[in-house]
Chain A
Amino acid sequence: MKVLAIRAAIVVALLGAWEIIGRTANPLLYVPPSAAVPALGRLLTRDSYPDLAEHLLLTLREILVAYALAIAAGLGCGFALGFNRLVGRAYGPILAALYAVPAVVWYPSLMLFFGLDAASKIAFGFLLGFFPVTLAVLAGIRQVDPHLVTVAKSYGAGPLTVFGRVVLPATLFTLVGGLRTGLALSVIGVIVGEILGSKRGMGALINHAYGLLRTADYVALVLVTLALIVGTDVVAGLVERKARAWSE
């Protein structure tokens, strides 16, 4: 209770300080809450950006496509590397080395290759989401007890049964965590891609507002984008909890 009260006090104090400093220093630059809230209202009533829904949907679609591709490729690569010892030992370190490179390094090449439209954002979101999914599959497979596999095989279980009854339940716990991280990174990838260069989508709107110094609109757009990001994470969290409950 006391903790909650202090947290609330901190939030109120921050907003208050922001309001006072913003007003006295430079309202255009610091956008006090009293300017941000009406801007959010204008945005949501489609006053300042009438085509908000269209851009929001485009961003959401890019995220979904990027994430779907990341899951497919990540599961494929992860299981391929995890089941074949030779392939895993050969390509695992290469994958790990590539993971040590800040991903944004690839973005200019993707932009050159796929152009300024949705494809380059999808490609970047895919790239970011791919690694955590693959690595989670690999980590999960390492947790499978080899004795269980041997026992199942000796009782005459086929490879599909072994996979479905032994490997999958054991990897699922780690896997859902990776899938959730993958979604978060796919989302970030798409949004970073849009902000670094695009004509449509939430990132493009944010850049537009920023470029024209419409800072209050910029703050409102950031809040809407944040809502989108938090929303996807909440959904992912619910799915994660369901999947973990099922696997236990």
Chain B
Amino acid sequence: MERVSAPRVRRLQLVSVLLLLAVWEATARAGWADPLFVPAPSAVARALGTIGGPALAALGDTLGKTAIAYVLSMVLGVAAGLAVGSIRLLREVLNPFVVALYGMPKILVLPWIVLLLGYGTAPAIFYGTLHGLFPVLVLVTGAVRDVDKTLVTVARAYGATTWQLYWKVLLPAIVPSVFAGMRLGIVFCLLGVLVVEMFAGIRGMGYVMGALANGFQAAELFAATALVSAASIAIVLALDHVSERLSHWRG
């Protein structure tokens, strides 16, 4: 296969995006698409201006809930993963339950969660945590299980306490899995929070987008969608950057 230079790739990306926007704009202007459903990019850009302030506030609200859910799911996931992974009986007994809960579409229990916790912030944080928890739990459990047994034996033989064993042997071994879980978890947490906001929200971006869809405000809806997407991509890229830095530092 032929070599592909980086500038050519960039050029193709830029041209494709511009072409897409141009065709889209032209389609909307020429009246081929109903502007009620397909607003022109220029209309979306204007809409971004009109919803700007309140939308940013709603985005802040959503991201705040996501941050709480994220911290909770990482702490719980790593702790539970360490426990389940390092205690053999626990792992053998609980594994099918964890796999089943991980695989089960959590949306089915959402109405019940809303019934128990009401509308608003609490169900969003709970449901977001539920989404972020399992990937980390499963990854950390696997990583702890696969820790080299000789390391553990040697540490024990040199008189390491249980605390030291977890802190000095197991914890460093699971760092890559924790990073992988953090990368997956943030998108899952945000997903969970947005779903609750759409289903039973009174604030936040999910609620705003649901309301815009119901009000047939397509331009504003597209603008809001672009805003959340951009925020999400930025967060994931930042996490990637941080974990790359840290893995360099780890050697």
Contact = CB atoms under 8 A, between A and B. Distances in A.
Nearest to B193: A102
Given A85-B2, A109-B225, A195 B191 contact: no
A3 B13 CA distance: 55
A188 B107 contact: yes
A191 B198 contact: no
A105 interface: yes
Nearest to B13: A90
Interface in B185-240: 187-188, 190-191, 194-195, 198-199, 206, 209-210, 212-213, 216, 218, 221-222, 225, 228-229, 232-233, 236-237
Interface stretch (A43-51, A67-75, A169-177, A225-233): A225-233
A232 to B, nearest CB: 11
Contact of B213 (A112, A192, A225, A226): A112
B232 A102 contact: yes
B109 interface: yes
Interface string A111-125: 111000000000000
B179 to A, nearest CB: 15
Interface in B168-193: 187-188, 190-191
Interface string A61-99: 000000000000000000000000111011101100110
Nearest to B1: A85
A207 to B, nearest CB: 7
Contacts of B199: 195-196
Nearest to B66: A102
Interface in A136-162: none
A109 B194 contact: no
**B interface, over-half SS:** helix
A213 B114 CA distance: 12
Contacts of A215: 112, 115
B8 A29 contact: no
* Residue of A29, A89, A102 with most partner-chain B CB within 10 A: A102
Contact of A112 (B2, B97, B108, B218): B218
Contacts of A233: 103
B9 A90 contact: yes
A17 interface: no
A165 B89 CA distance: 46
Contacts of B206: 104
Given A3-B93, A100-B233, A108 B212 contact: yes
Contacts of B112: 210, 215, 218
A100 B236 contact: yes
Given A10-B93, A104-B191, A206-B111, A112 B216 contact: yes
A215 B8 CA distance: 59
B116 interface: yes
Contact of B221 (A6, A94, A109): A109
B4 interface: yes
Contacts of A229: 104-105
Nearest to B36: A112
B229 A105 contact: yes
Contacts of A207: 111
A218 B111 contact: yes
A210 B218 CA distance: 30
Contacts of A101: 187, 228-229, 232-233
A191 B213 contact: no
A91 B105 contact: no
A218 to B, nearest CB: 7
A215 B221 CA distance: 34
Contact of B194 (A86, A98, A102, A225): A102
22 contacts: A6-B93, A10-B93, A85-B3, A86-B8, A90-B9, A90-B12, A90-B13, A91-B16, A100-B187, A100-B236, A100-B237, A102-B188, A104-B206, A109-B221, A111-B213, A188-B105, A192-B195, A196-B199, A206-B108, A215-B115, A222-B109, A226-B104
Interface of A: 3, 6-7, 10, 29, 85-87, 89-91, 93-94, 97-98, 100-109, 111-113, 184, 187-188, 191-192, 195-196, 206-207, 210, 213, 215, 218, 222, 225-226, 229, 233
Given A108-B212, A195-B110, 9 more contacts: A29-B116, A100-B236, A104-B191, A108-B213, A191-B108, A192-B105, A195-B108, A195-B199, A218-B111
